[in-house]
Amino acid sequence: MEQGAAGQVQWQGASADAGAARLRLSGDWTLAHHARLTRQLAPLPTPLPPETEIDTQALGRIDTAGASLLHTLLGQERLCAMSQDATALQPAQRALLCAVAEALEAPPAPEAPAGNAVLEVLAHIGQTVLVLGRHLWELLGFIGLVLQTVARLLWQPRRWRLTAWAAHLERTALDAVPIVALLTFLVGAVVAFLGATVLSRFGASIFTVDLVAFSFLREFGTLLAAILVAGRTASAFTAQIGSMRANEEIDALRVQGLNPVELLVLPRVCALLLALPMLSFVAMASGLVGGLLVCALALDIAPTLFVSVVESHVALRHFVIGMAKAPIFAFLIAVIGCLEGFKVEGSAQSVGEHTTSAVVQSIFVVIVVDALAALFCMQMGW
C-alpha cells in the first residue's frame, strides 16, 4: 500500500472454514488518522484473543498515537512480542512499539503522603539546626586555621604584610569614624531623652547621666560599633575575597605557592582587631556627648556637672569591660567575613548570597556573644 494512505483494520472472525480469527493492519497509523482508526476499532474485542493472527505486511508509518491504539488493541504481552519480531515490522517500528509499551505499562508514581503540619515544622526546625551546626563547625575549623597561621608567622616578622595591614586599617577604622560617631551621638541623645522622660516623673533627672554613662561605656558603645562594622566591613571582606575566588585569583595564589590565609585573611583580621577598639572608644565618647547635650538642653544639667557625675558614679571597670569585648567582636566579624568569601562558588549571585550571609551571621554572633558576656559579668558581680 502506498505511503500516506489512511490506516485500515480488516477483521475476519473465527470460523470452521477459515480457522482462527485474523486481523489485517494496513496504512499509516498516525495522529492524522487517529479518530478514524478509533471508530474502526470500537466493535473489536480489546484486547484481542491470544490466538488471533495479526497481518502487518501492509502496515505503513506508525507514530506514538498509532502505537497507543495498537497497545489497547493487542495488549502489553502481544505488543511486546510483535516488537521483537523482525519479520513482522521494520526496526524503527519495533523500537517505537517497544518504547510505547514500556511507557504505558510503567508503574504509576506513588502518591505523596498527606502532609502533616506539625511534622513539617519539626522537619524544618531539624534542617535549620543541622545547617547551623554545619556553619558552626566550619567557623571553628577556620578559626583554628587562622590561629595556626598566626602562631607560625608570629616569629617571622619579615613575612608580616604591613602594607596590606595599614591599608585595611585605614578602610575599616578611619573611613568608618564619621558614621559611627554620628549614629552613636544620635543614640546617646535618644537614650538621654528617654531617661529624662521617665526619671523626671520621680524627681530623679540627675540619674539620666548615670543611665547614659553606664549604657554606653558598658554596652552600647562597643555593641553599636560592632554592628556597624559587621554591616560595613564583613560584607566588604566577603565581596573582596569572593570576587577573587570567582575570578580564580585565589587558585592562582595557591599555584604560585602562596598561602591565601596568610596573604588575605591575616591582614584583615589584624586590622580589624585594632580598628574596632578605636571605633568603640569613638562610639562611647560620641554617645556621652549626645547625652551631655540633651541633659544640658532639656534638664539644665551643666556639662561640668555631667562630667563630675560620670567621674564619681561610674567606675573604671565598666569602661574596661566594654573595651574588652571589642577585640573579641572584631576577630569574629573578620573571620566570618573572610570565611564566607572563601565559600563563593564562582558567580555574581553566589557573591551576593554569601555577602548577605556574612552580614547576618556577624550581627547574630555579636549580639549572642554580647548577651553571654553580660550574663557572665552579672554572675561575677562585675
Q: Which residues contact 24 (CB under 8 A, 6 or more apart)?
A: 8, 9, 10, 11, 12, 55, 58
- Residues 68-111 have pLDDT tens digits of 777 777 776 777 777 666 666 777 777 777 777 777 666 666 66
What are phi and psi for residue 88, nearest 5 degrees?
-90, -35
Domain boundaries, the chain: 8-104, 128-380
Q: Does the bond joining 91 to the residue before it have cis omega, within 30 degrees of 0?
A: no
CA distance 262 to 42: 81
The answer to whether 22 touches 52, Cβ cutoff 8 Å, is yes
Alpha carbon distances (Å) from 223 to 189, 226, 329, 361, 372: 17, 5, 9, 15, 13
Q: For residue 286, what pLDDT is reported?
A: 92
Which has more pLDDT, 368 or 51? 368
The position carrying cell 492524522 is: 32
Q: For residue 255, what pLDDT is reported?
A: 86
CA distance 46 to 11: 13
Which has more pLDDT, 163 or 11? 163
- CA angle at 188 for the pair 186 and 190, rounded to the nearest 5°: 70
Q: Can you point out the beta strands (E) in the chain?
A: 8-12, 22-29, 53-62
Q: Which residues contact 29 (CB under 8 A, 6 or more apart)?
A: 7, 37, 59, 60, 61, 62, 63, 65, 66, 67, 69, 70
Q: Is the pTM of this model over 0.95?
A: no
> Strands 53-62 and 22-29: what pairing?
parallel
Task: Look at 62-76, 128-142, 196-210, 340-354 and tell me which has the smallest mean pLDDT.
Answer: 62-76
Which has more pLDDT, 147 or 39? 147
Across the range 173-187, mean pLDDT stands at 91
Q: Is 23 helix (H, G, I), strand (E, B) or coil?
A: strand
Residue 100: strand pairing partners: none
- Residues 241-289 have pLDDT tens digits of 888 888 888 888 888 888 888 888 888 999 999 999 999 999 999 999 9
pLDDT classification of 4: cutoffs 50, 70, 90:
low
